[in-house]
Amino acid sequence: MKVLTGNRLTDGEAVWYSRDGRWLETLAGAEVAEDKPAEERLEAIGKAAFANNIVLDVEMIDVDLIDGEIVPLRLRERIRAAGPTIRRDLGKQSRTGAGH
């Protein structure tokens, strides 16, 4: 399973592509591609968003669904989704209802 992610052009904020076609600041609402055609569709959306200067460092990342929650496989992506592990007051984890 994969989700589409990137960093927003204006401020570098990590964002994920959502089921309703928006780039969200939280991973929770990301669209999860569960098969090859879905992955290809998201990849194409990512390429277009990069070309349209909306996001950069666009990537498809591996995730698991654990109790309905999207959890990236790599620590790198878990840190991107939450914020620095050494400063819980920074990043998405510091915002109400965000992070893990």
Partner 1 sequence: MYRYDEFDHEFVKARVAEFSDQVNRRLAGEITEDQFRPLRLMNGVYLQLHAYMLRIAIPYGTLNPRQLRMLAHIARKYDKGYGHFTTRQNLQFHWPALSDIPAILAELASVEMHAIQTSGNCIRNVTADHFAGAAADEIADPRPYAEILRQWSSIHPEFSYLPRKFKIAVTGAERDRAAIQTHDIGLHLKKNERGELGFAVYVGGGQGRTPMVARKIRDFLPQEDLLSYVTAIMRVYNLYGRRDNKYKARIKILVHETGTEEFSRQVEAEWAELRDTELRLPEADIEAIEAYFAPPALAARPEGDEAVRLARLDSKSFGDWVDQNVFTHRHPDYAAVTISLKGIGETPGDCSDSQMEAIADIAEKYAFSEIRVSHEQNLILPHVARADLKSVYDALVEIGLATPNSNLITDIIACPGLDYCALANARSIPVAQDISKRFASLERQRDIGELKIKISGCINACGHHHVGHIGILGVEKKGAELYQVTLGGSGDEHTSIGDIIGRGFGPDEITDAVEKIVDTYLDLRLDRDEKFLDAYRRVGPAPFKEALYGAESKAA
| 33 contact partners, CB below 8 Å, separation of at least 6 | 1, 2, 3, 4, 39, 41, 42, 60
Tell whether residue 47 is a contact of partner 1 (CB under 8 A): no
- Tokens 């929650």 label which residue? 69
Site string for partner 1, 60-89 (x = CB under 8 A): -------------xxxx--xx--xxxxx--
**Segment contacting partner 1 (CB under 8 A): 7-15, 16-24, 26-34, 36-44?**
7-15
DSSP H or E stretch at residue 72? strand 69-72
The residues of the shown chain that bind partner 1, judged by CB under 8 A, are 7, 9-14, 50-53, 56-57, 73-76, 79-80, 83-87, 90-91
